[in-house]
């Protein structure tokens, strides 16, 4: 429809806030009936920058189950949010958060995944968290599975590789939808579902001993089961709490061609399709043709049951959410690698990198927002964005101007995208409080507005300290994104 003007500010009800995950903040891994989750059996690598999240074998799992400490498993200790959630939420409220994204640990509520009754202590914890958020009018945005599942489901079904896990997941989702009906308006099913192509951390399936071909087969099969489980959860939510909304969540990584050579442009398009495939299924309701070709050419055959395609097409998501950290570059032949936690790609000579080698590309966020809006025409939600950095305590203060610069540049581009016509619901910056890194299990890779006094070995007072960015973000929210100075 033609209009003679365009939006120049963030919408009035824009959801500003921060995002976290249970296994990176809660701790309390072995109390109040909680069982171990898949995230809590991943051993921290000795090399501090080394990613270890998919290095789980049958042998390492056995050792992890025998080890009753958190020494090598920092995700077991998190930052003790379990006992300090009141203090932390108060700080979020002080910044003016409109929304707080967190995940409910499946293993806290269904310790074996198939328990006859949910664990009341687990449900009660989230009751308390929600009450605290309600006290400050902070909207909860809840992820149902953020890179974790009860370890019993890995032992019994090799994670998502068996259909029984669909039933277990929907037992969990139906339970929390009923319990928290009317209190949670926004839900997400699987965090960064596309990273299931990387293995264990997302699929819960141990497959390191398999050939590349068998890994491809098992991972796409796991992901198919997740598509079905996600669609069933959507159906449940519409029946139980029709006013609530549910979204999918993608680790979005726009791929640029390294040159205008059509071969490179096509290579970039294929990479992009492999990334968007997941949202195509969850938002449009079908396996796209390009993916049918890709899977067939790679000898992957998805086993489906009769009703799968039907349920996937009937229960698509209400909104599309994604994380945005970086973009990548591809060329048809050969690649120079840059880092990332779940994808690597070519280096882009026009971009700077973070301390961990992640390429920083604020304009890429505008490009991404426009492309996603064009493709799906569903409201978009940026549910992760931020920079991991080595913060230094300087006489009790943290002067993190690099974090402010990073966030400012991304928010400026969000505003441009809104002016371009994109329907953007909100922005939850990743890790508003320092937490355990997903990919490296380090504490010293810090994202927060709030510093947590804990080092990589778990030592520290756990005191919370406001960084310079804390005051800056408070101003951003108070001015609804107008004051970025």
Positions annotated as catalytic residues are: 192, 384
Would you count residue 428 as binding ligand BG6 (CB under 6 A)? no
**HEC-encoded secondary structure of the chain:** CCCCCCCCCCCCCCEEEEECCHHHHCCCCCCCCCCCEHHHHCCCCCCCCCCCCCCCCHHHHHHHHHCCCCCCCHHHCCCCHHHHHHHHHHHHHHHCCCEEEEECCHHHHCCCCCCCCCCHHHHHHHHHHHHHHHHCCCEEEEEEECCCCEHHHHHHHCHHHCCHHHHHHHHHHHHHHHHCCCCCCEEEEECCHHHHHHCHHHHCCCCCCCCHHHHHHHHHHHHHHHHHHHHHHHHHHHHHCCCCEEEEEEECCCEEECCCCHHHHHHHHHHHHHHHHHHHHHHHCCCCHHHHHHHHHCCCCCCCCCCHHHHHHHCCCCEEEEECCCCEEECCCCCCEECCCCCCEECCCCCEECCCCCEECHHHHHHHHHHHHHHHCCCEEEEECCCCECCCCECCECCCHHHHHHHHHHHHHHHHHHHCCCCEEEEEEECCECCCCCCCCCCCCECCCEEECCCCCCCCCCCEEECHHHHHHHHHHHCCCCCCC
Q: Which is nearer to ligand BG6, 21 or 382 (CB)?
A: 21
Site stretch for ligand BG6 (CB under 6 A), options 345-353, 412-420, 437-445, 471-479: 437-445
Supply the minimum distance, in Å, between the C-beta of residue 378 and ligand BG6: 21
Would you count residue 21 as binding ligand BG6 (CB under 6 A)? yes
Would you count residue 145 as binding ligand BG6 (CB under 6 A)? no
Among 282, 439, 454, 469, binds ligand BG6 (CB under 6 A): 439
Supply the minimum distance, in Å, between the C-beta of residue 383 and ligand BG6: 9
User: How many residues make contact with ligand BG6 (CB under 6 A)?
Assistant: 15
Among 196, 204, 247, 388, binds ligand BG6 (CB under 6 A): 388
Supply the minimum distance, in Å, between the C-beta of residue 239 and ligand BG6: 29
Q: Which is nearer to ligand BG6, 118 or 362 (CB)?
A: 362
Site stretch for ligand BG6 (CB under 6 A), options 287-295, 329-337, 373-381, 430-438: 430-438
Site stretch for ligand BG6 (CB under 6 A), options 167-175, 179-187, 400-408, 435-443: 435-443
Supply the minimum distance, in Å, between the C-beta of residue 20 and ligand BG6: 8
CB 68 within 8 A of CB 79: no
Would you count residue 323 as binding ligand BG6 (CB under 6 A)? yes
Site stretch for ligand BG6 (CB under 6 A), options 79-87, 170-178, 236-244, 432-440: 432-440
Copy the structure tokens of residue 202.
């997302």
Of 304, 276, 303, nearest to 291 (Cα)?
A: 276
Supply the minimum distance, in Å, between the C-beta of residue 441 and ligand BG6: 9
**Contacting residues for 403 by C-beta, under 8 A, at least 6 apart:** 386, 387, 389, 447, 449, 467, 469
Among 133, 251, 407, 411, binds ligand BG6 (CB under 6 A): 251
Supply the minimum distance, in Å, between the C-beta of residue 347 and ligand BG6: 19
Q: Which is nearer to ligand BG6, 232 or 342 (CB)?
A: 342
Would you count residue 104 as binding ligand BG6 (CB under 6 A)? no
Site stretch for ligand BG6 (CB under 6 A), options 224-232, 258-266, 297-305, 434-442: 434-442
Would you count residue 341 as binding ligand BG6 (CB under 6 A)? yes
Q: Which is nearer to ligand BG6, 387 or 418 (CB)?
A: 387
Would you count residue 381 as binding ligand BG6 (CB under 6 A)? no
Would you count residue 191 as binding ligand BG6 (CB under 6 A)? yes
Would you count residue 197 as binding ligand BG6 (CB under 6 A)? no
Site stretch for ligand BG6 (CB under 6 A), options 108-116, 238-246, 288-296, 431-439: 431-439
Would you count residue 410 as binding ligand BG6 (CB under 6 A)? no
Residue 181: CB atoms within 10 A of its CB come to 14
Copy the structure tokens of residue 199.
């293995």
Q: Which is nearer to ligand BG6, 311 or 436 (CB)?
A: 436
Among 97, 186, 376, 438, binds ligand BG6 (CB under 6 A): 438
Would you count residue 148 as binding ligand BG6 (CB under 6 A)? no
Q: Kindly list the residues in this chain that would bind ligand BG6 in the complex (CB under 6 A).
A: 21, 24, 191-192, 251, 323, 341-342, 384, 388, 430, 437-439, 445
């Amino acid at each position: 429809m033609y209009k003679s003007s365009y939006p120049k500010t963030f919408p009035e009800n824009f959801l500003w806030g921060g995002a976290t995950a249970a296994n990176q903040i809660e701790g309390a891994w072995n109390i109040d009936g909680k069982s171990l989750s898949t995230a809590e059996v991943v051993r921290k690598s000795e090399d501090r920058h080394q990613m270890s999240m998919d290095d789980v074998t049958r042998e390492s799992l056995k050792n992890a189950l025998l080890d009753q400490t958190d020494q090598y498993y920092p995700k077991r200790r998190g930052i003790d949010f379990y006992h300090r959630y009141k203090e932390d939420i108060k700080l979020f409220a002080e910044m003016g958060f409109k929304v707080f994204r967190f995940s409910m640990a499946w293993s806290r509520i269904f310790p074996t995944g198939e328990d006859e009754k949910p664990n009341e202590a687990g449900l009660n914890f989230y009751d308390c968290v929600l009450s605290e958020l309600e006290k400050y009018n902070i909207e909860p945005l809840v992820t149902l599975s953020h890179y974790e599942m009860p370890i019993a489901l890995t032992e019994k079904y090799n994670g998502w590789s068996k259909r029984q896990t669909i039933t277990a997941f929907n037992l969990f989702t139906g339970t929390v939808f009923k319990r928290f009906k009317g209190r949670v308006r926004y839900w997400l099913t699987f965090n960064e579902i596309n990273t299931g192509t990387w293995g264990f951390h997302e699929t819960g399936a141990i497959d390191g001993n398999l050939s590349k071909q068998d890994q491809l087969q098992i991972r796409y099969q796991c992901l198919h089961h997740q598509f079905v489980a996600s669609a069933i959860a959507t159906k449940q939510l519409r029946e139980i709490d029709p006013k609530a909304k549910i979204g999918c969540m993608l680790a979005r990584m726009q791929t640029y061609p390294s040159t205008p050579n059509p071969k490179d442009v096509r290579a970039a398009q294929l990479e992009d399709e492999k990334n968007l495939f997941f949202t195509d299924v969850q938002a449009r309701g079908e396996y796209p043709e390009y993916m049918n070709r890709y899977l067939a050419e790679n000898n992957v055959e998805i086993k489906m049951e009769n009703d799968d395609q039907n349920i996937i097409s009937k229960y698509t998501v209400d909104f599309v959410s994604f994380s945005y950290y970086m973009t990548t570059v591809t060329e048809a032949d050969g690649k120079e690698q840059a880092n990332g936690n779940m994808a690597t790609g070519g280096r882009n000579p026009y971009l700077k990198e973070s301390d961990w080698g992640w390429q920083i590309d604020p304009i890429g966020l505008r490009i991404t927002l426009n492309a996603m809006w064009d493709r799906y025409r569903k409201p978009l939600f940026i549910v992760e964005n931020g920079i991991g950095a080595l913060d230094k305590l300087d006489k009790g203060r943290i002067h993190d101007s690099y974090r402010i610069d990073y966030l400012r540049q991304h928010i400026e581009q969000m505003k441009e995208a809104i002016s371009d016509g994109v329907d953007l619901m909100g922005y939850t910056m990743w890790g508003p409080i320092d937490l355990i890194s997903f990919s490296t299990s380090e504490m010293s890779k810090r994202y927060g507005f709030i510093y947590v006094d804990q080092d990589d070995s778990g030592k520290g007072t756990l005191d919370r300290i406001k960084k310079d960015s804390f005051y800056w973000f408070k101003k951003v929210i108070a001015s609804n994104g107008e004051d970025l100075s």
